Amino acid sequence: MKKILIALISFAFAVSCKAPQKEEPINITPEELDASIDRVTEIMIHDIFSPPVASRIFAYPNVAAYEIVAATNDNYNSLAGQLNGLTAIPEPDTTKTINYELAAVVAHMELSKRLIFSEDRMESLRDSLYMVWEGKNPVLFSDSKAYGLQVADHIGEWMNKDNYAQTRTMPKFTVDADDPGRWQPTPPAYMDGIEPHWNKIRPFVLDSAAQFKPVPPPAYSLEEDSAFYKELKEVYDVRNKITEEGDSSEEIQIARFWDCNPYVSVTRGHLMFATKKITPGAHWMGIAKIAARKTNSDFAKTLFAYTKASVAMADAFISCWDEKYRSNLIRPETVINQHIDDSWKPVLQTPPFPEYTSGHSVVSGAASVVLTEVFGDNFSFDDDTEVPYGLPIRSFKSFKQAADEAAISRMYGGIHYRAAIEVGVKQGRDLGTFVVNKLHMLSDKKVAQN
């Protein structure tokens, strides 16, 4: 009996001496969300994702994170029932203590990891954040993480039904050699047309890929008084003019700033390799980040901006690619080399897909409308998105001005006709306006506050 009593006393003493469970607060700031998005952008550059696929990679993790915050923040409404096919996320376990912003970042990182190739690069960020959070409050971290992963699974199931997997096995695009106005692969890599079936991806907000079908492009013609030839000659003349002015010309600076082509191939002797750049969607996500930081937006508003912008851009790519492979128009470089000057080269390398409409124009038009709705008109900002890629900062007085410059940059770059630019901007702005009007993400309470 004495031995048992001694053992009980020893056990009680050991328990009383055990260090108490840590219960420090875990404060999640917009910087943790930014870190996840920035890491995804870095990985997409490394893995060389096409612009349409990159837009999908941005959108789903943002939606997952947003849904967690909207479920617990009275200022925001869920997107369930607003986005095509999206149902409400699981209810949290009320017996648990959950940091919902932490859960949102967990869901964002988890879905991002599922969408890229270089998972280890995402895991390194995830593990570093997990270590900090768990060290502060293991129970709170564990419960919050579990809920974030639960929501990621829910959004993942919805994501997997968007027809992306099916498009991976669809046939490659075939070139019609008998039609002189149809798109042909362009130098130097002469790649196949990318994502010819992207219009089969389920849109987020649009009723269909063809909802904002633009007017057809000018009919292919080499008659000098035809609309097509006049636009062709304009591309040729603009390129020659700015070449004479030198690399320091404003037009060349604009073209390079908005290049955003992840498929640039460089040849050195017998060796061909790709230089890595961000996509148009990544550039506009960078602009959204700049705007959020300039306005000192909190976690929820930052996520609201990222989500609405990424959803609009994802649908913009679906809309644009629907038209690209419908009109299937030949690029200026091909026609100029065949019929005007066989040594002519554009300022920028022509990307590997049909010409009409301009992807930059459509996506920039859509993004500019959404960001104007979030942050206001005449929102001036300094765009340093391209600084890591060796390009200087450019300043804009509004998102609209930035979108207009992004669009015309394609003319300066020698890769688009005017119609693709002007019609593309309208296509994007019409689509962006539709997204703004259809998605009711702000609650009545928040709208009244604004």
Residue 265, H or E segment = strand 264-268
Contact between 228 and 220 (Cβ < 8 Å): yes
419 and 287, same structural domain?
Answer: yes
Task: Using the predicted structure, report yes or no on whether residue 7 has a pLDDT greater than 90.
Answer: no
Most confident segment among 83-87, 239-243, 274-278: 83-87
CA torsion, ordered 281, 287, 291, 294, to nearest 10 deg: 150
Task: Using the predicted structure, report yes or no on whether residue 285 has a pLDDT greater than 90.
Answer: yes
175-193: b (≥16 Cβ within 10 Å) or e:
eeeeeebbbbbbeebeeeb
Structure token digits, residue 94: 């009320």
Question: Cα–Cα distance between 319 and 221 in angstroms, integer?
Answer: 26
Residue ending a domain, among 165, 180, 208, is 165
In this prediction, residues 39-47 reach a mean pLDDT of 95
Residue 173 lies in a domain: no
Question: Cα–Cα distance between 212 and 435 in angstroms, integer?
Answer: 12
Residue 449: the pLDDT is 74
134 and 218, same structural domain?
Answer: no
Question: Cα–Cα distance between 150 and 89 in angstroms, integer?
Answer: 9
Residue 124 lies in a domain: yes
Question: Cα–Cα distance between 3 and 263 in angstroms, integer?
Answer: 77
In this prediction, residues 162-185 reach a mean pLDDT of 94
Question: Cα–Cα distance between 107 and 194 in angstroms, integer?
Answer: 30
In this prediction, residues 49-59 reach a mean pLDDT of 97
Question: Domain holding 372: CATH number?
Answer: 1.10.606.20
133 and 235, same structural domain?
Answer: no
Contact between 79 and 120 (Cβ < 8 Å): no
Residue 89 lies in a domain: yes
pLDDT in tens, 332-369: 999 999 999 999 999 999 999 999 999 999 999 999 99
429 and 335, same structural domain?
Answer: yes
Provide the pLDDT confidence category of residue 440 given band limits of 50, 70 and 90.
Answer: very high
Q: What value, to the nearest 5°, has the Cα angle with vertex 393 and ends 392 and 398?
A: 150
Residue 280 lies in a domain: yes
* 274 φ, ψ (degrees, to nearest 5): -105, 135
Residue 222 lies in a domain: yes
Residue 179 lies in a domain: no
Residue 248: the pLDDT is 81
DSSP 173-193: P---TT-TTB----TTT-PPP
Neighbouring residues of 57: CB distance < 8 A, sequence distance ≥ 6: 40, 44, 49, 112, 115, 116
The number of helices, as runs of H, and strands, as runs of E, in the chain is: 16, 4
What domain range includes position 445? 194-449
pLDDT in tens, 94-132: 999 999 999 999 999 999 999 999 999 999 999 999 999
Residue ending a domain, among 113, 145, 165, is 165
DSSP classification of residue 82: T
327 and 201, same structural domain?
Answer: yes
Residue 183 lies in a domain: no
- How many independent structural domains does the chain possess? 2
Task: Please give the single-letter amino acid code of residue 13.
Answer: F
Residue 107 lies in a domain: yes
DSSP 114-170: HHSS-HHHHHHHHHHHHHHHHHH-HHHHHHHHHHHHHHHHHHHHHHTTSSHHHHTTS
Structure token digits, residue 255: 């073209």
367 and 243, same structural domain?
Answer: yes
Question: Cα–Cα distance between 253 and 264 in angstroms, integer?
Answer: 17
Among the residue ranges 19-28, 133-142, 146-155, the one predicted with the least confidence is 19-28
Question: Cα–Cα distance between 302 and 65 in angstroms, integer?
Answer: 11
Say how far residue 376 (Cα) sits from the centre of its chain.
21
* 63 φ, ψ (degrees, to nearest 5): -60, -45
353 and 224, same structural domain?
Answer: yes
396 and 253, same structural domain?
Answer: yes
* 268 φ, ψ (degrees, to nearest 5): -130, 100
Question: Cα–Cα distance between 89 and 104 in angstroms, integer?
Answer: 12
Question: Domain holding 125: CATH number?
Answer: 1.20.144
Residue 23: the pLDDT is 83
Task: Using the predicted structure, report yes or no on whether residue 145 has a pLDDT greater than 90.
Answer: yes
152 and 217, same structural domain?
Answer: no
Contact between 285 and 306 (Cβ < 8 Å): yes
Residue 275: the pLDDT is 64
161 and 59, same structural domain?
Answer: yes
131 and 88, same structural domain?
Answer: yes
Structure token digits, residue 91: 């209810």
Secondary structure of residue 131 in the 3-state scheme: helix
257 and 380, same structural domain?
Answer: yes
Task: Please give the single-letter amino acid code of residue 117.
Answer: F
Residue ending a domain, among 146, 165, 184, is 165
Which among 217, 280, 204, 216 is positioned nearest to 434, based on CA atoms? 204
Residue 8: the pLDDT is 41
- When the pLDDT of each residue in the chain is averaged and rounded to a whole number, the result is 93
